[in-house]
Amino acid sequence: MPELPEVETLRRGLERGARGRRITDVVIANPKSLKGQNEDVFRERIVGRTIQSVTRRGKYLLIPLTTPLLADTPSAFLCIHLKMRGQLLLEDAAAPVGKYHCLSLALEGGRALRFHDMWTWGEIRALTAEELAAIEGLAAMGAEPLDPDWGGGSLAEMLAARRTPIKPTLLDQRVVAGVGNIYADESLFRAGIHPERAAGTLARSEVDRLAEAIRTVLREAVEGGGTTSEDYVDTEGVPGRYTPRVYDRGGKPCPACGTLLTRIRLGGRGTVFCTQCQS
DNA sequence: ATAGCGCCCTGGTGGC
DNA sequence: TGCCACCAGGGCGCTA
């Protein structure tokens, strides 16, 4: 599942392979990925435009597109969310498409940006600045945990008086941007905090530890090119090299103390932790 | 207001 | 061996 480190890895891949390129053609193989946007509007806002840069906000990729006449002001933004199974690949435009191919943008230079999505939960739309600003999930999104000034202070503010368990609280994108199931479990393990603790009852020292753990885990995962637990690959088709310590390892020994890791359901999500190391 | 659920979807798995 | 019910999960929208 693409979370912050995976989306950031894709962003970097697109910066290298797609920035500055003009989009020459669009193939919509599965309109479901447009999530209701009119196909002609989508096409119209993309074909002939140039990828100005590739930015990320939480788990969203935002790609400003420009026209030759207005080279500094984006005329539209590609807004992409991969949800659970979405993939973005830079492939030779002549290469055969995969089984779950939903959409292709042909790029100047012979390659194509392709969107594959087994579950078609992912979204790719071409939006104006106004439409983008109206997306609630983006407008209300919390701070970027890898920003230099984010830390225990910012997190403590968000957790104050919350009675929800800390694990589902970390998954709330309004609390902190980009953390999903993998890195919530990993961060809580690294910070030694039990996932069922009510968020508002964490001592300030624990919140500091947790914020530091989130930053460390995310930084290490970005360095490793993300985690491949299911079918995540980067834009060149390369899997992530980050290895989670507890995520998806229920019943296996804790890497710190050897106790068998416990798996529970919390807020509807599978949660793995160590009863010895996390309290 | 907020928490909890169903929904979207399909490959993999466990049971019979 | 084959079939089928069931599970996983991000984020949104609905309900209580």
Confidence of residue A134 (pLDDT cuts 50, 70, 90): confident
CA of A125 to C1' of C13 (A): 20
pLDDT of residue A95: 92
CA of A269 to C1' of B16 (A): 28
Closest Cα partner for A46 from A124, A132, A101, A110? A124
Segment A142-169 mean pLDDT? 92
Cβ partners under 8 Å of residue A147, min gap 6: none
Residues 25-84 of A with CB under 7 A from strand B: 32
Cβ partners under 8 Å of residue A34, min gap 6: A28, A42, A123, A124, A125
Is there contact between A120 and strand B, defined as CB under 7 Å from any strand atom?
Answer: yes
pLDDT of residue A268: 82
A77 in Cβ contact with A127 (< 8 Å): yes
Provide the β-strand partners of residue A279.
none
A115 in Cβ contact with A122 (< 8 Å): yes
Which nucleotide's C1' is closest to A118 (Cα)?
Answer: B10
Q: What is the DSSP string of A41-57?
A: HHHHTTTT-EE---EEE
- The predicted model scores a pTM of 0.95
Alpha carbon of A278 to those of A121, A129, A172, A248, A272: distances in Å?
A: 34, 44, 21, 17, 11
pLDDT of residue A265: 86
User: Which residue's C-alpha is at the least distance from the C1' of C12?
Assistant: A137
Measured torsion, CA atoms of residues A20, A13, A63, A187, in degrees rounded to the nearest 10? -150
pLDDT of residue A60: 93
Percent of chain A with pLDDT over 70: 100
Question: Does A102 have pLDDT greater than 80?
Answer: yes
Handedness of CA A46, A11, A234, A2 (dihedral sign): negative
Give the span between the Cα atoms of A212 and A202, in whole angstroms.
14
Q: Residue A169: in which H helix or E strand, if any?
A: helix A166-171
CA of A153 to C1' of C16 (A): 34
Tell me which nucleotides of strand C come within 7 A of a protein CB: 8-13
- A39 phi and psi angles, rounded to 5 deg: -60, -40
Q: What is the pLDDT of residues A33-92, one digit of tens each?
A: 998 899 999 999 999 999 999 999 999 999 999 998 888 889 999 999 999 899 999 999
A2 is catalytic: yes
Question: Does A228 have pLDDT greater than 80?
Answer: no
CA of A63 to C1' of B11 (A): 31
CA of A205 to C1' of C15 (A): 38
Tally Cβ neighbours within 10 Å of residue A139: 10
Is there contact between A118 and strand B, defined as CB under 7 Å from any strand atom?
Answer: yes
Segment A203-230 mean pLDDT? 92
Which nucleotide's C1' is closest to A82 (Cα)?
Answer: C10
Q: What is the pLDDT of residues A17-48, one digit of tens each?
A: 999 999 999 999 999 999 889 999 999 999 99
Confidence of residue A136 (pLDDT cuts 50, 70, 90): confident
pLDDT of residue A267: 84
Provide the β-strand partners of residue A28.
A103
